Chains A and B, each alone.
Chain A
Amino acid sequence: MTGSPALNLDRLDLPLDQIAVGRFLPWIIAALVYVAVLALAVAAVADHALRLYHLRAQLVTVTLPPAEDAAQSSREIAAALEMLQQTRGVTSAQSVPPEELEELLKPFLGEVGNGQELPMPQLIDVTLDPLVPPDLAALEGRLQQIAAGATIGAEALSRNRAERMATFFRAWGGGAGVAILIGALLAVGLITKVSLQAQLQVIELLRSMGAPDAYLARQFERYALSCGLRGGLLGFALAALTIVGLLYSSRRMELAGPIHLDLALLDWGLLACVPAVCALLVTAIARMTAMRGLAQLP
């Protein structure tokens, strides 16, 4: 009958689930995990959006006004392409074929008769190097020397605002998520401390039978793990439903304009780790708090 004390997984000697604070522990963890997952999801969505914004920022469209004839149009296009390809920070420049432009305009203008009836602008798709982006204003000036009225459509203002907002949400979402998880750990530490005080008589009884501190601490640890897993999974499931609902609504309402708010599979995977990580951390905190509390008892 010697050796390390055994502990039945289904049975705790300390009735930790029968005191008020202990009973609420799974619900408290569920609520905190729910909020933490939501906050972290906001951060992940914002990060995803930022990446899309950066990707879009690499593509700009140069518009040359309609030329008087086809020859002039070809000359302007060729000169603009040559100038763009020699510009530092421009990865590629490619003119949009007139047929493609007609396709683009068809929903708005209907059949335009082979592009003969309306003067059509000439478009060039330009890809920029995000590491050394060129000065778009200066580039626009040089393009205007080739074709008067040439413009670069950068959508700069609205994109800039959206990017700032996404950066804000990413920072605060991530910070809030981590802070809430720390809050969950503090709550578990406090509840363990209160439970320990509430169970002093049972602890004395178990000690009178020769239960070492590690055996007693393992009871708190086991209970915290069970609560952490149950609460964490419940909180995550509810948060996942909320996130799916919010993402669906945001798409329907086009909250982020042309950017689709979404979570990548990897993000979902990382969020799914939150309850598991939370359960492991609360287990460790419960054990540490219990061991410290028991060491202070005579």
Chain B
Amino acid sequence: MLRLDNVAMRYGGGPEVLHDLNLTLERGEFVFLMGPTGAGKSSLLRLLGLLHMPARGEYTLFERNVASLGRDELTAARRRIGIVFQDARLLDHLSAYDNVALPLRINGAEDGQIGGFVMEMLAWLGLSAAVEVKPPNLSMGQRQLIAVARAVIIRPNLLLCDEPTSNLDSKLARRLMHLFTQLRKLGTTVVLATHSDDLVDRYRHPVLRIADGQLRGPLPAPAALAAAE
């Protein structure tokens, strides 16, 4: 479903921040992405999420070389991807409800069709009381949950999460991990960037290690944790 062959990435005319990336992920696969701060985790997620094009090499997503995609095809491919940004990136002028409903509306869904769906998602995340609240009036944890809800509500084929549990208590973090696991069972490929050894140890999904813009793995979780030590 996703394959990188000797892919490199750079911002503008700057140096390569990622290079010689080789990776294959199948449908329904779940991997953690680990590495020190500044190693390139967020850049890799941007590349996988089609927010940045490879400077060289070949990135194949949904059976298509992304370099060959036209503007409309890129848009269509992005609609199959859910991204949870590290800083949540909620729209402060919209309510929690409207933030979560955003991808559905962009996909052309009518308001009448999505109400129940969005409310159900917010209720499941314990945010029923915050439906009309705007992000500046929510806690960091609540903002993070809304960002996750927004990413998964379209039931994406590829889910990219940048530290989604970093602002959550352990109970909520477990709940989110349960949600991701359920999505994986439905066929979503999940890439979750984290600094948390505990999370990796608990869920035992394979680990991609990134350092100095280069990727290793997927490694089995114990080996990856041992290598980190």
Contact indicator per residue, chain A 1-33, by CB within 8 Å of chain B (1) or not (0) = 111111110010101001000000000000000
Stretch at the interface among A47-55, A126-134, A200-208: A200-208
> In the bound complex, do residue B108 and residue A208 qualify as a contact, i.e. CB atoms below 8 Å apart?
no
Contact of A13 among B76, B78, B81, B94 (CB under 8 A): B94
Q: From B92, which residue of chain A is reached at the shortest CB distance?
A: A15
Q: How far is the CB of A67 from chain B (nearest CB, A)?
A: 89
CB of B227 within 8 Å of the partner chain? no
The A-contacting residues of B in range 79-100, CB under 8 angstroms, are 79-81, 83, 85, 89, 91-94, 98
| Bound complex: CA A172 to CA B150 (Å) | 56
> In the bound complex, do residue A213 and residue B94 qualify as a contact, i.e. CB atoms below 8 Å apart?
no
CB of B110 within 8 Å of the partner chain? yes
Contact indicator per residue, chain B 68-81, by CB within 8 Å of chain A (1) or not (0) = 00011001101111
Given known A201-B89, A210-B75, contact A1–B102 (CB-CB < 8 A): no
> In the bound complex, do residue B49 and residue A208 qualify as a contact, i.e. CB atoms below 8 Å apart?
yes
Q: How far is the CB of A290 from chain B (nearest CB, A)?
A: 15
| Bound complex: CA A206 to CA B102 (Å) | 8
Chain B residues closer than 8 Å to A2, beta-carbon distance: 107-108
Contact of A5 among B72, B76, B83, B106 (CB under 8 A): B106
> In the bound complex, do residue A210 and residue B79 qualify as a contact, i.e. CB atoms below 8 Å apart?
yes
CB of B17 within 8 Å of the partner chain? no
> In the bound complex, do residue B49 and residue A210 qualify as a contact, i.e. CB atoms below 8 Å apart?
no
| Bound complex: CA A204 to CA B87 (Å) | 14
Q: From A201, which residue of chain B is reached at the shortest CB distance?
A: B89
CB of B104 within 8 Å of the partner chain? yes
Contact of B106 among A11, A202, A211, A298 (CB under 8 A): A211
Chain B residues closer than 8 Å to A202, beta-carbon distance: 91
CB of B105 within 8 Å of the partner chain? yes
Main secondary structure of the interface of B (DSSP, over half): loop
> In the bound complex, do residue A210 and residue B89 qualify as a contact, i.e. CB atoms below 8 Å apart?
no
CB of B28 within 8 Å of the partner chain? no
Contact of B108 among A3, A15, A206, A298 (CB under 8 A): A3
**Chain B, interface residues (CB within 8 Å), range:** 20 to 34
CB of B226 within 8 Å of the partner chain? no
Q: From B90, which residue of chain A is reached at the shortest CB distance?
A: A205
| Bound complex: CA A157 to CA B35 (Å) | 92
Contact of B109 among A6, A201, A207 (CB under 8 A): A6
CB of B25 within 8 Å of the partner chain? no
CB of A98 within 8 Å of the partner chain? no
Q: From A206, which residue of chain B is reached at the shortest CB distance?
A: B106
Contact indicator per residue, chain B 51-63, by CB within 8 Å of chain A (1) or not (0) = 1110000000000
Q: How far is the CB of A297 from chain B (nearest CB, A)?
A: 11
Chain A residues closer than 8 Å to B217, beta-carbon distance: none
Q: How far is the CB of A126 from chain B (nearest CB, A)?
A: 73
Contact indicator per residue, chain B 23-60, by CB within 8 Å of chain A (1) or not (0) = 00000000000000000000000000111110000000
Chain A residues closer than 8 Å to B107, beta-carbon distance: 1-2, 5, 210
CB of B127 within 8 Å of the partner chain? no
Contact of B89 among A15, A205, A213, A298 (CB under 8 A): A205
CB of B111 within 8 Å of the partner chain? yes
| Bound complex: CA A279 to CA B108 (Å) | 27
Q: How far is the CB of A47 from chain B (nearest CB, A)?
A: 47
> In the bound complex, do residue B75 and residue A11 qualify as a contact, i.e. CB atoms below 8 Å apart?
no
| Bound complex: CA A13 to CA B107 (Å) | 14
The A-contacting residues of B in range 106-127, CB under 8 angstroms, are 106-111
What are the 4 tightest A-B residue pairs by CB atom distance, in nearest-first order? A210-B79, A3-B108, A210-B78, A1-B107
Q: Can you pick out 14 interface pairs between chain A and chain B where the beta carbons lie within 8 Å of each other?
A: A1-B108, A2-B107, A5-B106, A6-B110, A201-B89, A205-B91, A206-B102, A208-B81, A210-B78, A210-B79, A210-B103, A210-B106, A211-B75, A213-B71
Give 14 new A-B contacts, CB below 8 A, not counting A2-B108, A208-B81: A2-B107, A5-B105, A5-B106, A15-B92, A202-B91, A206-B102, A207-B51, A208-B50, A209-B78, A209-B154, A210-B103, A212-B71, A212-B72, A213-B71
Residue numbers of A with Cβ under 8 A of B are: 1-8, 11, 13, 15, 18, 201-202, 204-213, 215, 298
Residue numbers of B with Cβ under 8 A of A are: 49-53, 71-72, 75-76, 78-81, 83, 85, 89, 91-94, 98, 102-111, 150, 154
